[in-house]
Amino acid sequence: MKEREGLQLADQKRDQIKDHSKNKREYQITDRLNRNVVLDYINTFVTNLNMQSSIWVLYLAYCGLNLAQIGLVEGIYHATSIVFEIPSGAVADLLGRKKSMVLSKVCIAVSCVIMLFSRSFWFFALGFVIQALGNNLNSGSEEALVYDSMKYAGREEEYLRVCGRLNMIIEVSQGIATVAGGILAEFSYFWCYGACVVIAVLALVPVLWMTEAPYADGKGCPGSVGEVVRTHFETCFGILRSDRRILNIIVYYSVLFAAQTLLFFYSQQYFYELGYNKIQISLIMLVVGGVSCAGAAMSERLFERFGTKIGVIGAFVIAASFLAYGFCRVSVSVPALAAASFFNSVLYPVQSEQLNSLIPSGQRATLISVNSMFFSIAMILVFPLAGALADMYGLTVVLVGIGLGLAVFTAVWNKVL
C-alpha cells in the first residue's frame, strides 16, 4: 500500500515538473515572439535608410544610361515584381517567413553591390531584377510574421497601433536617407552606394534575431508553389469578372499612381537639368515627402468631405502638376510636385476604401495582389516609353505631354467632357 502511494506521489510530482517545464517553455516562446515586434521596429528603420531612392536616376545617367534605358530598367524591375510576386509568397509559406525575410535582405545587399560596380545596361538590369526579387520575398512575410507573433501572444488587438508606429518609423528613416543620400552622392556616388551595401547587411541582424511564429490559422502553404500560383490567378480573374466596377477602379488608379511615380523619379533629372546639385535635389524631395505625409493624414477627412469626387480632383491636380513643369522654374515645379505627391497619398486610402466596399474580406488579400499587378503593368508601359521620348524631344516636353494626356484621360474616364 505504501509502495503504491509512493508511486502515485512520484507520478504527481513528475506531472507537476512537466507542467512547470511546459509553462516555462510557453513563456519563453511568447517572450521571443513579443520581441519580434521590437526587432521589426529596428529592421524597418534600418531597411528604409535607402539612400539611393532620391538619386538613383541621376546615378544611372552619370553611369552613361540615357533616359530610355533608365525607363527600361525600371520597367524590368516591375516586370520581375509581377513574375515573382506570387511564387515568392508561396516560398514564404513553404520555408517560413523569417527565412524569406533573410533571403530578401541578401538579395537587396547583392543588388546594391551590383549597382555599385556596374557600368553597363545589362548589369544594372540584373541589379534591378535581384532588388525586385528581394522586395517580393519581404512583401507580406514581414507583416505576416509580426501579426502571427502578436496573435500567438494574445496581442492582436494592438496590431493597428504597431502598424502606425511602423509607418512613422518609415517616414523618419526615409527622411534621413533622402538627405544623407544627397549629401554623400554630391561628394561621391561610390560612398552613397557603398553605404547602401553596409545598410543592407546591417538589416540582416534584427531579422536573424527574430523567431519564426506559428501560423495564425494553424497551417501554412496549402500545396505546392505551382498549385498556389494557379489558384491565385484563377481567383484573380474570377474577381475581375464578378464586378466591372472593380476593374474600372484598379485601372483608373493604376494609371494615376504610375504617372505620379514617373513624375517623382524623373524630377531628379529635371531639377538636375535646371542646375541644382544632388544635395539641393534631396532637400526638395524631403520637403515633398513631408507634404506627402500630410496628404496621407488628411485622406480620411477629404474623402468624407468630397466622397469619390476626390479621385477626379486629385487626378486633375496631378495632371496640372505635369503641365507646371513646362515653365521650367523651380518656384513653380516644386509646389507642383508637392501637390501631386499630396494627392497621390490622399488617393491611396481612397482607392482601398472603394475596392474594399465591393468585395468580401476573404478576397482582399488577392485583390491587393491584383491591384499591385496592374500598377506594375502600367509602370512597364509608361516608364520606358517616357524615357525614350524624353531622349528625342526633351524631358520637359514629355512631362507636359503626359500632363495633357492625363487630363484628357481623366475627363473621358469620368465623363467630365
215 pLDDT band (50/70/90 cuts)?
low
Does 255 or 157 have the greater pLDDT score? Answer: 255
Q: How many structural domains are present in the chain? A: 2
Worst-scoring range by mean pLDDT, 19-33, 177-191, 381-395?
A: 19-33
Sign of the dihedral through C-alpha 66, 70, 76, 82: negative
- Give the whole-angstrom CA distance, residue 225 versus residue 83: 13
For residues 246 and 214, membership in a common domain is answered with no
For residues 302 and 408, membership in a common domain is answered with yes
pLDDT of residue 89: 62
In a domain, 125, yes or no: yes
269 pLDDT band (50/70/90 cuts)?
very high
Worst-scoring range by mean pLDDT, 53-57, 161-165, 307-311, 318-322?
A: 161-165
pLDDT at 285 over 80: yes
pLDDT at 81 over 50: yes
Q: DSSP assignment, residue 212?
A: P
Does 61 or 237 have the greater pLDDT score? Answer: 61
- Give the whole-angstrom CA distance, residue 214 versus residue 148: 7
In a domain, 16, yes or no: no
Q: What is the pTM of this model?
A: 0.77
C-alpha cell at 175: 527622411
In a domain, 304, yes or no: yes
For residues 350 and 255, membership in a common domain is answered with yes
pLDDT of residue 108: 92
Last residue of a domain, one of 176, 200, 221: 221
pLDDT at 92 over 80: no
DSSP element (H, E) containing 237: helix 225-242
Average pLDDT over residues 268-293: 90
In a domain, 9, yes or no: no
pLDDT of residue 205: 92
pLDDT of residue 233: 67
pLDDT tens digits for 151-207?
A: 777 776 777 677 767 777 887 888 888 888 888 888 888 888 889 889 989 999 999
Q: Which of 71-75, 176-180, 413-417 has the highest mean pLDDT?
A: 71-75
Last residue of a domain, one of 188, 221, 254: 221
Output 238-244 pairs: Cβ under 8 A, ≥24 positions apart: 239/359, 239/363, 239/366, 239/367, 239/370, 240/370, 242/359, 243/358, 243/359
pLDDT of residue 218: 46
Average pLDDT over residues 98-112: 90
C-alpha cell at 356: 474594399
For residues 93 and 160, membership in a common domain is answered with yes
pLDDT tens digits for 348-375?
A: 878 877 876 776 655 555 666 677 788 8
- Give the whole-angstrom CA distance, residue 17 versus residue 11: 10
User: 48 CB contacts (<8 Å, ≥6 apart)?
Assistant: 169, 170, 173, 174, 177
Worst-scoring range by mean pLDDT, 171-175, 208-212, 252-256, 402-406?
A: 171-175
Can you give 307-352 as a three-state secondary structure string?
A: CCHHHHHHHHHHHHHHHHHHHCCHHHHHHHHHHHHHHHHHHHHHHH
User: 114 CB contacts (<8 Å, ≥6 apart)?
Assistant: 123, 124, 126, 127, 130
pLDDT of residue 222: 53
Residue type, 85: E
% of the chain surpassing 70 pLDDT: 81
pLDDT of residue 20: 47
Among 372, 348, 356, which residue's Cα sits nearest to residue 292?
A: 348
Average pLDDT over residues 320-349: 93
Output 183-187 pairs: Cβ under 8 A, ≥24 positions apart: 183/278, 183/279, 183/282, 184/51, 185/51, 185/55, 185/58, 185/59, 185/278, 185/282, 186/277, 186/278, 186/279
Among 312, 302, 260, 310, which residue's Cα sits nearest to residue 416?
A: 312
In a domain, 317, yes or no: yes
Compute and round to an integer the Cα radius of gyration of the chain: 25
For residues 195 and 107, membership in a common domain is answered with yes
C-alpha cell at 168: 512613422
pLDDT at 245 over 70: yes
For residues 25 and 152, membership in a common domain is answered with yes
Distances (CA, A) of 146 to 34, 90, 97, 98, 160: 9, 18, 10, 10, 11
pLDDT at 51 over 50: yes
C-alpha cell at 205: 541582424
In a domain, 8, yes or no: no
Question: What domain range is 414 assigned to?
Answer: 230-417
CB 49 within 8 A of CB 176: yes
Last residue of a domain, one of 221, 251, 281: 221
55 pLDDT band (50/70/90 cuts)?
confident
Cell 496631378 found at: 318
CB atoms within 10 A of CB 182: 25
In a domain, 372, yes or no: yes
pLDDT of residue 307: 85
For residues 242 and 148, membership in a common domain is answered with no
In a domain, 14, yes or no: no
For residues 279 and 186, membership in a common domain is answered with no
For residues 125 and 84, membership in a common domain is answered with yes
Q: Residue 80 in 3-state DSSP? A: helix
For residues 47 and 170, membership in a common domain is answered with yes
* CATH number of the domain residue 161 falls in: 1.20.1250.20
Where residue 101 falls (left for φ over 0; alpha for ψ -120 to 50; beta otherwise) is alpha
For residues 353 and 413, membership in a common domain is answered with yes
CB 104 within 8 A of CB 138: yes
pLDDT of residue 26: 59
pLDDT of residue 217: 47
For residues 238 and 125, membership in a common domain is answered with no
